């Protein structure tokens, strides 16, 4: 057993079981609705979580004091914990690691309007705890009475993936028996959309077309995903259903540009290789890749080149679920980790919605049109974010 690894050390050590899933996305709330949504074409419209009512998780007074991103964090965590069943764990050995790219932008924007129109004395005294990025993780910890590590990762669009990697290391190192990891985002405010629009990151057509030759930017979304990670022996001792195992993770930086990926995908390729080495699996063992695939010209090209560098011309089938879900920024990696686990469990790869016209510069096997049958094998899940952050997870079947 390998102990004492820091936040960038290996996941290897104690085996990390995945025993609970929670997800809220524009295609549905909960695992069943989410999975059904991934298997059918997106019908259009804003990619907000439909029918989300914070009253299902909070009282009216409390809901007014919790930003939407933290509300989504709590909801995803609660769904995952309910799915995991009775954990029977020592609260001092239970932790939370949640990610977000932006945090409480909705609350900040609303209180800026209050400040400008009604004066500084009318600004809510709850603004700071509402807008702080760690509010999601903190609220989850408080509600469950968990006294182990409670941490927040803010690495833009890689945050959800990095949070799950950090959560897994708390299990692998022997520090915790149970950790809930994930990410949430709710940045679809007037200011957020204007900012992404003006930096030309969003699709002018409103379509998410990952890896397609016509791609012209991402479709912004909100949502949250959460996984209950558990020490394998703890999970088996309580008779838990184990969806799979988090085998390994990688993290690198491009050190190139604050928003653009490194040309040629070198940083992403290095991250994939680190994740595979951490999981102790060869590239040939990967059966499927859940790509970052944002539908932006540079990101998709760079990721495609990285995949080819690591896996060669005949690499595993690739899908980007962002064709349906859009890009939920700091929540994306967590949402896609849920999709990766379900791909193994349901023995089916969701198609890349919006992909129709191949890009001759991207030579990878894109799953498109219909779902593809899948014989359970390790899945690689990629996330890459502004700032040059790269994060990869390797998720395997429960064996």
DSSP label at residue 212: B
| pLDDT value at residue 2 | 30
Select which of 162, 234, 288, 327 is catalytic: 327
| pLDDT value at residue 8 | 52
According to the CATH classification, is domain 16-397 in 3.40.605.10? no
Residue 157: active-site member: yes
| pLDDT value at residue 10 | 63
pLDDT bracket for residue 1 (50, 70, 90): very low
- Pick left, alpha or beta for residue 338 (phi over 0 → left; psi -120 to 50 → alpha; otherwise beta): alpha
Quick check: 176 and 295 in contact, CB under 8 A? no
Q: What are phi and psi of 20, to 5 degrees?
A: -155, 145
**Separation of alpha carbons 396 and 248, rounded Å:** 9
Q: Chain-wide mean pLDDT for the chain?
A: 96
Which residues 6+ apart lie within 8 Å of 383 measured at CB? 157, 158, 160, 161, 162, 292, 332, 333, 336, 390, 391, 392
Give the helix/strand (H/E) hosting 228: strand 223-231
| pLDDT value at residue 221 | 98
Regarding predicted confidence, which is higher, 10 or 310?
310
Q: Is the pLDDT of residue 306 over 70?
A: yes
Select which of 288, 292, 389, 392 is catalytic: 292
**Separation of alpha carbons 17 and 237, rounded Å:** 12
Q: What are phi and psi of 241, to 5 degrees?
A: -75, 125
Residue holding tokens 């390790």? 378
Average confidence (pLDDT) over 386-393: 97
Q: Is the pLDDT of residue 52 over 80?
A: yes
Strands 150-153 and 372-373: unpaired
Residue range 120-174, pLDDT digits in tens: 999 999 999 999 999 999 999 999 999 999 999 999 999 999 999 999 999 999 9
Tell me the Cα Rg of the chain: 20
294-324 burial, b at 16+ Cβ within 10 Å, e below that, comes to bbbeebbbbbbbbbbbbbeeebbbbbbbbbb
Residue range 320-373, pLDDT digits in tens: 999 999 999 999 999 999 999 999 999 999 999 999 999 999 999 999 999 999
Q: Is the pLDDT of residue 4 over 50?
A: no
Which three-class secondary structure state does DSSP give residue 61?
Answer: helix
In the chain, pLDDT over 70 holds for what percent of residues?
A: 97
Residue 115: active-site member: no
Among 369, 364, 398, 368, CA closest to 382 = 364
Q: Is the pLDDT of residue 3 over 50?
A: no
Quick check: 137 and 222 in contact, CB under 8 A? no
| pLDDT value at residue 7 | 45
Select which of 26, 27, 94, 157 is catalytic: 157
DSSP label at residue 56: G
Which three-class secondary structure state does DSSP give residue 45?
Answer: coil
> What's the predicted TM-score (pTM) here?
0.96
Average confidence (pLDDT) over 177-204: 97
Average confidence (pLDDT) over 205-227: 97
Q: Is the pLDDT of residue 199 over 70?
A: yes
Q: Is the pLDDT of residue 5 over 60?
A: no
Q: Is the dihedral of CA 257, 258, 262, 263 positive or negative?
A: negative
**Separation of alpha carbons 32 and 37, rounded Å:** 9
Strands 379-385 and 16-25: unpaired
Q: Is the pLDDT of residue 6 over 80?
A: no
Environment class of 60 (CB within 10 Å of its CB; exposed 0-12, middle 13-18, buried 19+): exposed
Strands 389-397 and 244-253: antiparallel
Residue range 63-103, pLDDT digits in tens: 999 999 999 999 999 999 999 999 999 999 999 999 999 99
Average confidence (pLDDT) over 254-260: 96
How many Å separate Cα 288 from the centre of its chain?
17
| pLDDT value at residue 395 | 98
């Amino acid at each position: 057993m390998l102990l004492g690894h820091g936040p960038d050390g290996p996941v290897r050590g104690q085996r990390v079981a995945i025993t609970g899933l929670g997800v809220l996305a524009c295609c549905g709330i909960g695992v069943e609705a989410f999975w059904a949504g991934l298997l059918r074409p997106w019908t259009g419209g804003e990619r907000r979580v439909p029918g989300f009512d914070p009253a299902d998780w909070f009282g009216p007074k409390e809901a007014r004091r919790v930003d939407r991103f933290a509300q989504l964090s709590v909801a995803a965590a609660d769904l995952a914990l309910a799915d995991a069943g009775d954990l029977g764990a020592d609260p001092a050995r239970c932790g939370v690691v949640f990610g977000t790219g932006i945090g409480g932008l909705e609350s900040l924007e609303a209180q800026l309007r209050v400040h400008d129109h009604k004066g500084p004395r009318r600004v809510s005294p709850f603004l700071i705890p509402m807008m702080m990025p760690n509010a999601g993780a903190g609220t989850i910890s408080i509600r469950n009475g968990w006294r182990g590590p409670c941490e927040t990762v803010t690495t833009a669009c890689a945050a959800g993936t990095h949070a799950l990697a950090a959560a897994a290391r708390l299990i692998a190192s022997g520090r915790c028996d149970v950790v809930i990891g994930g990410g949430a985002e709710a940045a679809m405010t007037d200011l957020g959309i204007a900012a992404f629009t003006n930096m030309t990151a969003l699709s002018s057509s409103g379509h998410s077309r990952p890896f397609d030759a016509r791609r012209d930017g991402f479709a912004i979304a909100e949502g949250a995903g959460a996984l209950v990670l558990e020490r394998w022996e703890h999970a088996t001792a309580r008779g838990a259903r184990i969806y799979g195992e988090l085998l390994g993770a990688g993290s690198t930086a491009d050190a190139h540009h604050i928003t653009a990926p490194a040309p040629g995908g070198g940083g992403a390729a290095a991250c994939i290789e680190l994740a595979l080495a951490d999981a102790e699996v060869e590239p040939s063992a990967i059966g499927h890749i859940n790509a970052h695939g944002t539908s932006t010209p540079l990101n998709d090209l760079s990721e495609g080149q990285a995949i080819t560098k690591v896996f060669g011309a005949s690499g595993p089938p690739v899908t980007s679920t962002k064709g349906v879900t859009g890009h939920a920024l700091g929540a994306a990696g967590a949402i896609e980790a849920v999709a990766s686990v379900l791909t193994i469990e349901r023995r089916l790869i969701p198609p890349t919605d919006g992909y129709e016209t191949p890009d001759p510069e991207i030579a990878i096997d894109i799953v498109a049109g219909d779902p593809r049958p899948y014989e359970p094998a390790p899945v690689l899940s990629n996330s890459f974010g502004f700032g040059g952050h790269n994060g990869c997870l390797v998720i395997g079947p429960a064996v």
